Amino acid sequence: MTELTPDQQRNLDATVAAVQRVAMHIVTLPKKQRAEQYAAVRRTFEESIQKFGVEGETAHKWLDGTMDMLRALVSEIEAGGGAGGGRA
């Protein structure tokens, strides 16, 4: 694996932290409200990366990957018993 620069590491850490915070919020919502929330989060992330000048294929890959990570984390939280999900 390629070593990240300090700036890249900070950006990755910020992305992961944001995804974790958002996932913890989304998992508390009723499932029928989540599609709307995912769309709002995507728009917010898209606006944020545009402010930093990230565009084109790089922006699309980051946005798609981040949203995939968010959905996976919500599923993982539910499977583990968070927000009423999972079974012991």
19 domain-assigned? no
2 domain-assigned? no
Q: What is the mean pLDDT of each run of 10 residues along the chain (88 residues)?
A: 86 92 96 96 94 92 96 94 54
To the nearest whole number, what is the mean pLDDT of the chain?
Answer: 90
71 domain-assigned? yes
64 domain-assigned? yes
Q: Residue type at 23?
A: A
16 domain-assigned? no
pTM for the model stands at 0.81
Q: Which domain holds residue 69?
A: 30-80
- DSSP three-state, residue 88: coil
Q: What is the number of structural domains in the chain? A: 1
Q: Residue type at 56?
A: G
